[in-house]
Amino acid sequence: MPTLPWTAPNTPPRATDVHVFASRFETRTLWGALRFLLRTPGVWRRVGRAPGAYGASLRARPLRRTFWTLSAWESPRALRDFARSDGHGPAAGGLAPQMKDAKFVAWTASGDSLPVDWEEALRRLE
């Protein structure tokens, strides 16, 4: 699966800082990677309608059992609300037993710099 392009459901006001969040997930098995992929479209649609979402992208290497997410939000609270929502929470919770490793990083960036550069996100996740 190739990288899903940056989707920007909302535009931040000019000269506004945004909350950027990146994650890396590794599943225990190929079955876990398949389950991750099967849940991706539903979560992807919901992030496109999430209040406070300024953009998101996904990289998937299912044969390596590794996935990365990259998103920008109005605030840490907007991200937290989405993560706990019906659109994300049950999907993530259902995948928890399939996960071997997960890493998360967040930082502040200028809304004028969106979309966020994948290389920057990967560097921060190292």
Domain locations in the chain as residue ranges: 4-125
Question: How far from 101 is each of 24, 27, 60, 83, 108, CA to CA, in Å?
Answer: 8, 7, 15, 18, 24
Q: Averaging pLDDT over each range in 31-40, 81-90, 91-100, which range is the top one?
A: 31-40
Average confidence (pLDDT) over 80-95 = 65
Stated pTM of the model: 0.86
Q: Architecture of 4-125 per CATH?
A: 2-Layer Sandwich (3.30)
Residue that has been written with the tokens 């890493």 in this structure: 103
